[in-house]
Amino acid sequence: MESVEKVYDWEYFQNKTPFRRIFEKYCNLEIDSYSMGSQYHRIQHYDISYDMALYMQNIKKIKQALLKTKMCKYLEGMRKKIEDIPETIEEYENAYAIGRIASSLIVDGCTRHTASSIKYNWDIKNRYSDDMEYNIFCAKRMNRPLIRIFEVNGWERESWNFYFDFPDDTTLELWQSLAKRFKEMPKVNQCNGQTFFELMFVPKEYDSINWECRGGYMAKNNFVEGTLNIEKLKELLTFTDNGLFEYFYKGGVRTLFEN
Over residues 21-37, mean pLDDT: 91
Tens digit of each residue's pLDDT (9 = 90 or more) over 159-172: 999 999 999 888 99
Instruction: Record the pTM.
Output: 0.78
Q: Cβ(167)–Cβ(120) under 8 Å? A: no
Looking at the DSSP assignment, which residues form a beta bridge with residue 228? 257
Give the confidence band of 5 by pLDDT, cuts at 50, 70, 90.
Answer: very low
Which residue type, as a one-letter code, is found at position 233? L
At CB < 8 A and 24+ separation, what contacts does 226-230 make? 226/257, 226/258, 226/259, 227/257, 227/258, 227/259, 228/164, 228/167, 228/171, 228/256, 228/257, 229/256, 229/257, 229/258, 230/170, 230/171, 230/174
The helix or strand, by DSSP H or E, that contains position 195, with its residue range, turns out to be: strand 193-205
Alpha-carbon distance 192 to 112, whole Å? 32
What is the model's pLDDT at position 9? 47
